[in-house]
Structure 1
Amino acid sequence: MSLLEIRNLHAGYGQMTILKGIDMMLDAGEIGVIVGPNGAGKSTTLKAIFGMLNITEGSIHFDGHDITGISPEKLAAHKIAMVPQEHNVFATLTVHENLEMGAYTRRDDYSRVMDEVYEIFPPLKDKRRQAAGELSGGQRQMVAFGRALMIEPKLILLDEPTAGLSPMYMSEIFDRVIAINKLGVTVAMVEQNAKQALAIAHKGFVLANGQNSYTDTGRALLDNPEVAKSFLGG
């Protein structure tokens, strides 16, 4: 059984339907990357998984449970976390306080998890007493990742994690995604830098007009001339 299974998903905003029958499956421990042109429904797919919009048809199952339409607050109990593209840190709080906010639902000792986050993101340990809003874009993204990891998720949803970052930080974020995955966390990621993202993906999903265009391994999609021509810039 797949950890995440999406079947015939139709969803959108209000009366506007964006997703028109999306299918997607991820096994535990995989990195899944969703790519496609603007307006294809990439970020909408993540928001649908995370209970942030109206689902009109289809289903989402996670770890054997039907989570279709469950609110984001309740999904934390299922060990699902999301890092949105924007407004993903508390700017006036310190790095350490941001991480503590990620653990607000926990009633146990999470110091071990905090130590693991600092191991994965060494720059954050040095800046743990600094306000998150004072950090660089790449470091703020690390804070957002770290906060999501505080619930020890089985699945983490990443919406455009390298958007607006310099090439140096872009590579570092992809390295951190791999490091998170090696902890046993399944990753579903939307990414505009499609070639770099597919290079680290176990599975890739190319969307267009709210529907699946291609589904394959990341490597196979990179080697597919039709995908390269239509979606990867040649």
Structure 2
Amino acid sequence: MHLLEAKNVHGGYGGMNILNGVDLAINADEIGVIVGPNGAGKSTLLKAIFGLLRVTEGSIELRGEPITNADPGELVLKKMAFVPQEKNIFPSLTVQENLEMGAYSRRDNYQHILEQVYHFFPPLADKRAQPAGELSGGQRQMVAMGRALMIEPSLILLDEPTAGLSPLYMADIFERIVTINAAGVGVLMVEQHAKQALKIAHKGFVLVAGQNRFTDTGMNLINNPEVAKAFLGG
């Protein structure tokens, strides 16, 4: 059984479809990466999965359970987390307060996962009392990801996690995504740095005009001449 499976998903904005029959599936131990040109429907697909955009046709399942058009709050309780590209931290709150906000739905002691987040993102441990808005772009992204991890998700959705980051921070974020996945969290992310992201992907999905153009392992997509020429800059 797949951790997440989307079948023939259609959806869009204002009556206009952006997604035109997308298929996608990842397992619990996998990193899935969605790439493609601007306007392909990549971020729209994540929003549709997380209940932020109405699916008009098709289905989405989490561990075999239908979740099509489920409420995002319900999905959080089902251990799915979503990190949007923008406005994904509380700038005036400290790092630790941001992380604790991620545990708002918990009624148990979450100290162990707080310490695990600091283990995943060591730079945050030293800055736990600092307002998150004062951090670098890469560290703010760590806060956003860390807050999502506070529910101990089985699946985390990441929308452009390296957007606007320097190459050094980009490599750092990718490395930490691999570490999070190795700890038992399935990852599905949209990423503009396609080649670098596909290097860590177990599965890659190339979307064009809201449809699957290519689906394969990350390395097979990198080594596919047609994919490389059209989508990977070479």
**2:114 is paired with a residue of what secondary structure?**
helix
Q: Structure 2: how far apart are the matches of 1:208 and 1:232?
A: 14
State the partner residue of 2:173: 173
Give me the CA root mean square deviation.
0.5
Structure 1 stretches (4+) deviating beyond 2 angstroms? none
Is it true that 1:41 corresponds to 2:45 in the alignment?
no
Q: Deviations over 1:54-90 (max 9, x none)?
A: 2100000001210000011110111000010000000
CA distance in 2, matches of 1:74, 1:14: 25
Q: How far did 1:166 drift?
A: 0.6
- The amino acid of 1:60's aligned partner reads I
Q: Return the alpha-carbon distance in structure 2 between the equivalents of residues 143 and 14 of structure 1.
A: 33
For structure 2, the 5+ residue unaligned runs are none
- The answer to whether structure 1 residue 142 and structure 2 residue 175 are counterparts is no
**1 CA distance for matches of 2:179 and 2:28?**
15
Could you say which residue in structure 2 is the equivalent of 1:186?
186
Pairwise mapping of residues 1-234 of structure 1 onto structure 2 (< 5 A)?
1-234=1-234
Q: Which amino acid aligns with 2:42?
A: K
Tell me how far apart the structure 1 counterparts of residues 127 and 151 of structure 2 sit (CA, whole Å).
21
Task: Report if the CA contact (8 A) 1:157-1:187 is conserved.
Answer: yes
CA distance in 2, matches of 1:83, 1:14: 24
Q: Secondary structure at the match of 2:119?
A: helix
- Cα shift readout 1:104-131 (whole Å, capped 9, x = no counterpart): 0000000000000000100100000000
Matches of 1:231 and 1:123 in 2, distance apart? 33
Any idea what SS the aligned residue of 2:92 has?
coil
**Post-superposition offset of 1:14:** 2.2
**2:151 counterpart letter in structure 1:** I
Residue 16 of structure 1 deviates from its aligned partner by 1.5
Tell me the amino acid that sits aligned with residue 119 of structure 1.
H
Q: Percent of counterpart pairs with the same letter?
A: 68
Q: Extract unaligned runs of 5+ from structure 1.
A: none
1:15-40 deviation per Cα after TM superposition (whole angstroms, max 9, x unaligned) = 11100000001011100000000000
Q: Distance in 2 between matches of 1:64 and 1:79?
A: 14
The two structures have a TM-score, normalised by structure 2, of 0.99
Q: How many residues are matched?
A: 234
SS of residue paired to 2:140: helix
Q: Is the 8 A contact 1:14 1:54 kept in 2?
A: no
Q: Distance in 2 between matches of 1:35 and 1:190?
A: 6
Check conservation: 1:6, 1:24, Cα contact below 8 A.
yes
Q: How far apart, in 1, do the equivalents of 2:53 and 2:129 lie?
A: 36
Q: Tell me how far apart the structure 2 counterparts of residues 41 and 170 of structure 1 sit (CA, whole Å).
A: 23
Structure 2 CA distance, aligned partners of 1:221 and 1:139? 30
